[in-house]
Each structure stands twice: as structure tokens, then as C-alpha cells.
Structure 1
Amino acid sequence: MQNSSTAIQSVAASKMAIFNRRFKKQKWFYLMLLPGLLYFLIYKYVPMWGVLIAFQDFQPFQGFFGSKWVGLKHFETFFMEETFWMLFRNTFILAVYNILFFFPLPIVIALMLNEVRKDVFKRFIQTFIYIPHFVSWVVVIGISFLFFSKDGGIVNNVLVSVGSEPVNFLLSKDWFRTIITSQVMWKETGWGTIIFLAALAGVDPGLYEAARIDGANRWRQMWHITLPAIRSTIIILLILRIGHFLDSGFEQIFLMVNPMNREVGEVFDTYVYSTGISQGKFSYSTAVGMFKSIVGLVLVVVANRLAKRFGEDGIY
């Protein structure tokens, strides 16, 4: 028994010595990691204690532990309201639009850029499509107003010039989701190509050379070499995208929603703001936000298990 205890202590001491040597050797890497860890600790993990108010009738002057506990009351109220189904429908449809139309676009652009042989032309296109990512949503919405306003908008001016009636795009419920998705595609597609271009840079050129010797054209090389090489990257990013399935983007939606299109434009993010900040229902809005986060967590777990079932590594 004593020998066994001595052996365990010896193994623990050996592991500690290895850790100390590794820490001393890589101390500057750990130091560089520290700001990121502090950021997530302060701004991500510490605020998570705030979800406690979802189970309370929170009163700011009474604090977290002085407010009355009500259990699942706010969740039940939210699920029983007709607003829940409107919010779920609007958020779900916008999320599906993003998955179907936005998510594949960076992949397609990356594949096209990978076929460009002139570096100058390739860099120019990359820079040109990256720029919108650094434009704020306020500016993007302003540009949209400039193009789609009924009075003086560029698109309506063109329609009138060819004899058509002007269309009130910004107040139309039918055009709202199309405009929102188009804005996301224009703003974020170029930035999304960065990861896929990085993955494509790691493909062995010898594979393409062997395929050309065997008579494979560009399409077959892309289908049998390029896409399989970046498949794992696509799966991981898709899982992460599904995790944000109910995140429609507060700022963009908030700036585009108006009384005429609110029926199709109100989503969970804007509803949390209007009930929590504007109406002061802190506990109720926290319950709504917590529901959205739980759904995102469940979707990530399910998507990750499906990815592993089909032979991919997943994210954990």
C-alpha cells in the first residue's frame, strides 16, 4: 500500500516537473494568451451570473439576492404569448435564408479565387470584397436607403425611367427578408472567404498535378480534390453557424424594422431590447435571451453529433 502511494506521488511529481519545464519554455506564449483569457473571463463568463434574474421578479434596488424568486414564470408567460410564434417564425426564416444563400457564397468565391492565376488580379478582388466587412451597419443601412427609397432611390428611379411603378421596398413586408439577406451577403461574404482560402492554401499541389496527368479537367479537380480538402473546414463553420441559428443580428434588424414591416421583421434580438430596455422588463427579457441561447447550444450539440456520425471530427 505504501509502495503504491509512493508510486502515485512519484508520477505526480514527474508530471509537475514536466509542466514546470514546459511552462518556463513557453512562458511568453502563455503571456500572449492572457489578454484573450481575461477578455472572455470578464466579458463572457462573469456576466453569465446575470441569467439568475430570468428566474426572479428582478428589482434593481433589491439586487440579485433580494429580488423575489418566481421559477419558470417568465418562460411560461413567453411561451403562451402569440408573440412567441411570430418571433420564432421570423427568426427561423431569416436564419434559413442565411444558411441557404449566405453560407455557401464564401465557399464559391474562395473556389473561384483559387482558380485565378494572376496574383495582382486575385489580390485586387480579395481587397475589393473584404472592404464591406469594415463598414458599420449604420452605413450599410444608409446605403440601402439611398438605393431603395421610394422617393429618389436609385432603384426606383431606374424603374420609373423604364415605365414601371415605384416600389416601396423599405416598407414592404415582401421585400424585407430579401433586403436583409442581401445586406449580409454583400457585407460579410468577402470576410468569410479568408478561412476557406487559408484551407485551400494547404492543399498539396502534387494532387492537382497527378489529376491532370490522369486527364482530370478543372471541374473534376475541384470536385475530387479541392472540395474534399476543405470539407472539414466547411463542416466546422456550418456547426458554428448553426449554433448562432437564432442570432439574426440586432443592429441590422433594429435599423431596418419599421411599423409597416414589423410583422415579418421583429426577431428575438430586437424583442429583447424593446421589452428589456424600453419597457424595463429585465427578468422577462433575460428569460427570452436565455431561451435563445439554450436553443443554440442544443443545435450545436446535435449538429456536432451528426457530423461525427458521418465521419467528420466536429468541434469537440
Structure 2
Amino acid sequence: MKSVEMKAIPRKKNYFIKNWQTYSMIVPGLLFFIIFIYIPLCGSIIAFQDYNIFNGVFHSKFVGLKHFENLFAYPEFYRVLKNTLIISLYQLVLGFPAPIILALLLNEVRKMIFKRIIQTVLYLPHFLSWVIVGGLFINLLSPRVGMINEMITYFGGEPIFFVQEPGYFRSIIVSSGIWKEVGWGTIIYLAALAGINPELYESAEMDGAGKFRQVFSITLPSILPTIAILFLLRIGSIMDTGFEQIYMFLNPLVYDVGEVFDTYIYRVGLLGAQFSATTAIGIFKSVVGFILIIAANQLSKKATGNSIY
């Protein structure tokens, strides 16, 4: 047995040496996760301390679960939790199907030049920062120079302060997010659509199935594993609504409907120096996301047979 094991070790070593180029490509990714993900996780210990920036992590007083207990005692916590869940659900229900629908439509375009032009135009907003996108939407919805209000006043209506109206805030967040990311989200689905066997469509046409029928009988079932995996990943990040996006539109008039965990952590934790309390919120978000992705993964495995692991 020992001789067999001794022979196996040199073989593995030779395999690594032979394929060192492939493994060297993994190193930057590993370093990224170690430096920016795993090492910062050690800082979560301040959620169990009365952290003082001058005393540091090693000399701050441990208080156990004090900040987690206080978390559920703050009235603001439930307001922020409600806003986070509502906006996330809107983004999930309206934003998740959008790239699927767009990919199905693009897949039917036969003129390759026209298709590539459309794809390029749709991908472009993804590369714009939220500062630019936020400025575009704020100007578009401006009560004085915005195109939308120009149309409203043209038909005899009164200008609307969209960004300052709580009733419109969540719609603006969801619609701007879809506009920015829907094109980029089609990439994976278009790749999945390209892998479908064309003979399936030919057989369906011979049986008299139209385009609409083919979508539900062939296309969607074929890309269902891709949809399921991306949906599970989205469920796991349901507590993350996007700090940059919401912060660009957030103002004191819409705090009641627009402030989410990400902006609350910035305002209270960084600007208010309540590092321990907001770290506890961050851990709470992570635990909820972990539970949701585990539960959704098990449901997906039983219902569709597709899962992350």
C-alpha cells in the first residue's frame, strides 16, 4: 500500500508541473477571494464587541449578542427590512424574467448584422456607472426640463416631482435597474439558446407547432437548468438591493420607502460610527441569504432536478 501511495504522489506532482499554466490562471482568482472575501470575514468579530476605532479589534470590549438583541428592538430595523424585501421582490419578479424574454426575442432575429447592433446597444448601459445612469434618470424625470414632465404638461397636466414622491420611488429603482442590466443579463441565456439542437425545432415544425408553441415546448425546457441556477443565485442575494443605485436616487423625502440595509449601514455605520451595530446587520443579511439559498436549492432539486450542488 505504501509503495502505491509513494508512486501516486510523484504522478500528481508531475501532473501539476505539466499543467502549471492552467493552474497559474487560478491563482489571481484565489488571491482575490482570500484577500477581499475571507480575510475581511475576520472583521465580523466586531459585531460581538463594543468596537472602538481607537482601541482596535484586540482591545475592544466583548458584549456577546448585545447588538443582535438591540437589532430587533430598533423601530428603524423593521422599516429598513420591509423596504429591502419589497424592492428585492420587485426586482426579482420584474427584473429576473426580463433578460429571458429579451434573449428569446433576440434569438428569433435572423439578420446577424441587425442582431449584433441591437445587442451592442443593449449591452452599453451595463458599462455606465450609476452616477451617469442616475443623472440620466433624474434629468429625464425632472419637473422643469425632464422629457416625461414635458409630455405631461403638453397634455395639460401638472409637473410631477417623481424622485421626491414616495409613491414613485420604488418604480424608478426597479425600472432603472432593468434598463441598465437587462441587455447584459441576456448573454448567458443566448449562450444556452445556442446549445439547443436545431433538429428539435425542425421536428416541431413538421408536427405543425408554431413559434409560440416551440418556445414553451422546446426552448424554455431546454434552458430551464440555466434559469434555475441563476434564480437560485438571485434568491441568495435577495437582501442585497444595490447600494450605488439606491443611494443615487435616495433623499430625505423618500427615506420611509427607499432606505434599505445597504444605505442604512452606510449612513449609520460609516457616517454615524456605529460599526458594531451595522456589522451585526451585515451578519444578519448573510445568514438570511444563506438560509434562503439552501432552502431554494432543496426545493429546486425536488421540483426540477436542477440545483447548485
Q: TM-score category by the smaller chain? A: over 0.9
SS at match of 2:109: coil
Give the whole-Å Cα distance in 1 for the aligned partners of 2:223 and 2:4: 41
Aligned position for 1:172: 165
Shift of 1:11: 4.4
Aligned position for 1:192: 185
Which residue identity lines up with residue 239 of structure 2 in the other structure?
A: L
User: Larger deviation: 139-148 or 210-219?
Assistant: 210-219
Which residue identity lines up with residue 312 of structure 1 in the other structure?
A: G
From 92, 97, 114, the equivalent of 1:121 is 114
Aligned position for 2:239: 246
From 97, 105, 108, the equivalent of 2:98 is 105
Give the whole-Å Cα distance in 2 for the aligned partners of 1:279 and 1:81: 15
Aligned position for 2:274: 281
Aligned position for 2:146: 153
Shift of 1:223: 1.2
Aligned position for 1:76: 69
Give the whole-Å Cα distance in 2 for the aligned partners of 1:13 and 1:206: 51
Which residue identity lines up with residue 292 of structure 1 in the other structure?
A: K
Specify every segment of 5 or more residues in structure 1 that has no aligned partner in the other structure, as ranges.
Answer: 1-6
Aligned position for 1:3: none
From 73, 82, 85, the equivalent of 1:89 is 82
SS at match of 2:253: coil
Shift of 1:151: 2.0
User: Larger deviation: 303-312 or 177-186?
Assistant: 303-312
SS at match of 1:314: coil
User: Larger deviation: 105-114 or 249-258?
Assistant: 249-258
Which residue identity lines up with residue 99 of structure 1 in the other structure?
A: L
From 253, 256, 260, the equivalent of 1:260 is 253
Identity %: 49
Which residue identity lines up with residue 37 of structure 2 in the other structure?
A: K
Structure 1 residue 215 corresponds to structure 2 residue 193: no
SS at match of 2:43: helix
Which residue identity lines up with residue 148 of structure 1 in the other structure?
A: L
Which residue identity lines up with residue 13 of structure 1 in the other structure?
A: M
Structure 1 residue 38 corresponds to structure 2 residue 7: no
From 41, 58, 61, the equivalent of 1:48 is 41
Which residue identity lines up with residue 109 of structure 2 in the other structure?
A: V
Aligned position for 2:13: 20
Structure 1 residues 208 and 15, CA gap change in structure 2 (3 angstroms): farther
Aligned position for 2:194: 201
Give the whole-Å Cα distance in 2 for the aligned partners of 1:311 and 1:217: 26
Give the whole-Å Cα distance in 2 for the aligned partners of 1:10 and 1:163: 90
Give the whole-Å Cα distance in 1 for the aligned partners of 2:154 and 2:127: 34
SS at match of 1:80: coil
Instruction: String of CA shifts for 1:190-213, please: whole Å, max 9, x gaps.
Output: 000000001111111121122222
From 291, 306, 309, the equivalent of 1:313 is 306
Shift of 1:77: 0.8
Give the whole-Å Cα distance in 1 for the aligned partners of 2:199 and 2:7: 44
User: Larger deviation: 81-90 or 147-156?
Assistant: 147-156
Superposed CA RMSD: 1.1
Give the whole-Å Cα distance in 2 for the aligned partners of 1:193 and 1:285: 35
Which residue identity lines up with residue 23 of structure 1 in the other structure?
A: F
Give the whole-Å Cα distance in 2 for the aligned partners of 1:176 and 1:213: 50
Shift of 1:14: 4.2
Instruction: String of CA shifts for 1:145-190, please: whole Å, max 9, x gaps.
Output: 1111122222111111110111110100000000000000000000
Shift of 1:10: 3.8
Give the whole-Å Cα distance in 2 for the aligned partners of 1:56 and 1:11: 52
The TM-score normalised by the length of structure 2 is 0.97
Instruction: String of CA shifts for 1:107-129, please: whole Å, max 9, x gaps.
Output: 00001111111111111111110
Shift of 1:279: 0.8
Give the whole-Å Cα distance in 2 for the aligned partners of 1:275 and 1:288: 11
The TM-score normalised by the length of structure 1 is 0.95
Give the whole-Å Cα distance in 1 for the aligned partners of 2:13 and 2:133: 51
Structure 1 residues 220 and 42, CA gap change in structure 2 (3 angstroms): same
